[in-house]
Amino acid sequence: MGVALFIALFVAIPLLTLAFGRPVASDWRTATHRAMGLAPDPGSYPGAVVQAYASHTFGWRGAFAVHTWLAAKPAGADHYTRYEVIGWYARSGHSAVSVTNTRAPDTEWYGSAPRLIRDLRDAEAEAVIGKLDTAVASYAYPDIYRAWPGPNSNTFLAHLGRAVPELRLTLPSTAIGKDYLPLGQFLVRTPSGTGHQASILGLIGVAVGADEGFELNILGLVAGIDFAHPALKLPGIGRVPSGD
């Protein structure tokens, strides 16, 4: 009974957010994809840039989770390359991994404004860019996508964080799928590289790291404490204060 009540409380928080807080877009065909001006203009900033973004997922799922992606521009380049996993690509028989330079790096995700979660410049960015192609190619699930519990877009970003330690990527606690690990793989570094996590298929697990703090994952929903930048982490809400 106690376990069932605990799980119910985990799920209730994002459901209350959906019911009383966050508005939900109803039609993906009319949702906006406007660039938000968070990425430096290549014409005015010639240096290398690497940025990671998070935005609420479309529809009711946005009460529970965010979609994450990475954008990068080598020094002197006149455009960004955007790296992300998109579910309907896999469902249509293509690779879920999207690598494109035709989309702005900082667009809304179906009407939801992105939040910048990592911003590297110049030498730090170049160190990441030099390893990105290899890291993307080594992603284990290009043909598989599951919104829950993974693998999904957040599983992909977590993979990039582990494959490229220079990125030092701390994903939001609302990035459902970041903790997904295949059967047989139980203990790994956290995506930031500052700690370790144990997880069973992303359904239950725990993470401890200097950047992540302490996180408890139950059915993909995460609660925890950030000690470095004091805040609570609540399912669906993220950081309190300063939510995801």
The whole-angstrom separation of Cα 96 and Cα 77 is: 26
- Find tokens 């994903």 and name the residue: 171
Residue 64 confidence (pLDDT):
87
The predicted structure's pLDDT at residue 133: 97
Strands across the sheet with 66-73, in order? 97-100, 81-85, 66-73, 49-56, 115-121
Task: Please report the pLDDT score of residue 236 as a whole number.
Answer: 87
Domain of residue 215, residue span: 2-240
What's the sign of the alpha-carbon dihedral 150, 29, 78, 36?
A: negative
At 21 the pLDDT is 59
Q: Which phi and psi angles does 197 have, rounded to 5°?
A: -140, 150
- Could you tell me which residues are beta bridge partners of residue 216? 206, 223
pLDDT of residue 27: 77
**pLDDT for 129-149, tens place per residue?**
999 999 999 999 999 999 999
For 68-90, how does the pLDDT look when each residue is reduced to its tens digit (9 = 90+)? 999 999 999 999 999 999 999 98
Number of domains making up the chain:
1
The per-residue pLDDT for 3 is 61
Q: How far apart are CA 213 and CA 194, in angstroms?
A: 9
CA distances from 169 to 118, 181, 184, 210, 240 (A): 7, 17, 24, 12, 20
Name which of 45, 42, 174 is nearest 117 in CA terms: 174
Q: Which residues of the chain carry a pLDDT beneath 50? A: 1
The secondary structure element, H or E, covering residue 218 is strand 213-218
Q: pTM (2 decimals)?
A: 0.93
Please tell me the distance from the alpha carbon of residue 178 to that of residue 96, in angstroms, as a whole number.
16
- Distances in Å between the alpha carbon of 71 and those of 1, 42, 58, 106, 111? 45, 13, 20, 8, 19
pLDDT in the model for residue 183: 85
Residue 113 is predicted with a pLDDT of: 95
